[in-house]
Amino acid sequence: MEANKVDMFILANGKFFESHQLQMIRERLLSLDDSKWAVIQTLQFKDPTTSIIVSILAGSLGIDRFMIGDTGLGIGKLLTCGGLGIWALVDWFLIMDATREKNLAKLQTMLY
């Protein structure tokens, strides 16, 4: 893929991924076939900022985990009152990176 297209993608979507992964994403995209560009451009990513807000407001009900697609963990939090509050608290610190990882996993289904 052309470098300017890749840079455009990184510029628009960089905040959805962990910074140390951006270099790898860039290289993968550069070596990717041009026909995939349309699909990759339409991918919707979850915003880490949204998930931390949801986590703070409704984390003890597991809504944050449901939102990023960790349904099993969401049920776990829901049925234990947010892990007696402890799990909900720990997730305030984990949820942003978890969201970024989910985004990478989503992009990777397109990359390989």
Between the two ends of the chain, the Cα-to-Cα distance in Å is: 14
The verdict on 18 binding another protein (CB under 8 A) reads no
Among all chains, which residue has been given the structure tokens 């989910």?
102
The verdict on 82 binding another protein (CB under 8 A) reads yes
**Spatial contact of 53 and 31, defined as CB atoms under 8 Å apart:** no
The verdict on 103 binding another protein (CB under 8 A) reads no
State the number of binding residues for another protein (CB under 8 A). 18
**Spatial contact of 64 and 48, defined as CB atoms under 8 Å apart:** no
The verdict on 106 binding another protein (CB under 8 A) reads no
Neighbouring CB atoms inside 10 A of 99's CB total 27
Single out the residue of 76, 94, 104, 106 in contact with another protein (rule: CB under 8 A).
Answer: 76
Q: Which CA distances in Å does 39 have to 52, 58, 64, 68, 85?
A: 28, 33, 27, 21, 40
Task: State which residue, 1 or 58, has the beta carbon closest to another protein.
Answer: 58
The verdict on 99 binding another protein (CB under 8 A) reads no
The verdict on 105 binding another protein (CB under 8 A) reads no
Q: Footprint of another protein on this chain (CB under 8 A)? A: 60-61, 69-73, 75-76, 78-85, 88
